[in-house]
Amino acid sequence: MKLIGLTGGAGSGKSTVAEMFRELGATVIDADQATHAVYAPESLGFDLVEREFGPDYVRNGRIDRARLGELVFHDADARQRLNAIVHPLVREWMAARTAEALMHGASVVVQDVPLLFENGLEDLYSEVVLVYVPEPVQVQRLVEGRGLSEDRARAVIASQMPIDDKRARAKQIIDNSGSREVTREHVERLWAELAAR
């Protein structure tokens, strides 16, 4: 089985590329989906987050991720405390899904991991694929696609490793700054290369 790490920056279109890999036959395991599972009511993650941050961060029986996100965005200590809870549980969830995929005969598993380089995970993968767009395109997509203010979009991007630093570290790069069709061609070419190895 080939284990591929897929990463990018905020607004780079990583989810779009992940879906293209899925359509080509890869099993895609999404770190964002893992995070939702970790925060689910009655889970260990839910209990640990509530214990650490208090009942003010629970609303309608669920972790108030928007409120928690605001806290950790502005408070590095709170972010570290949250990451210490969530990251190990996310990795455990993804490892379990990867093992399931292997047991079901998957030949290529793509793990969609937004902060792959930030967390030093590149050695876990046979290949790391970066979905790249220049920073101005990231800002534009976050503003137009997700409704963020320009200041907020820039702050989100600034909280991650610069996209050009990620580009320097990645062996495989999919430039997603053009049309969807051009990106699809890049993905198909890379998929053929990966399948041939």
Give me the pLDDT at residue 74, please. 84
Three-state DSSP state, 132: strand
Calpha distance 134→167 (Å, rounded): 10
Residue 59, Cα to own-chain centre: how many angstroms?
A: 25
Which of 57, 183, 93 is closest to 130 using CA atoms? 183
Token code pair at residue 165: 């630093």
Which of 9, 6, 15 is closest to 136 using CA atoms? 9
Give me the pLDDT at residue 22, please. 94
Domain assignments of the chain as residue spans, ordered by start = 1-26+108-197, 34-105
Token code pair at residue 196: 């041939």
Token code pair at residue 6: 């897929």
Q: Going residue by residue through the chain, which has 197 residues, state the pLDDT in tens, using 9 for 90 and above.
A: 899 999 999 999 999 999 999 999 999 999 889 999 999 999 999 999 999 999 999 999 999 998 998 898 888 899 999 999 999 999 999 999 999 999 999 989 999 998 899 889 999 999 999 999 999 999 999 999 888 899 988 988 888 899 899 999 998 999 999 899 999 999 999 999 887 77
Calpha distance 73→96 (Å, rounded): 29
Residue 26, Cα to own-chain centre: how many angstroms?
A: 16
For the CA atoms of 1, 39, 70, 148, the dihedral, rounded to the nearest 10 degrees, stands at 60
Calpha distance 197→193 (Å, rounded): 7
What are 29's strand-pairing partners? 111
CATH number among 3.40.50.300, 1.10.1370.30, 3.30.9.100, 3.10.20.600, domain 1-26+108-197: 3.40.50.300
Provide the 8-state DSSP code for 6.
E
- State the pTM of this model: 0.88
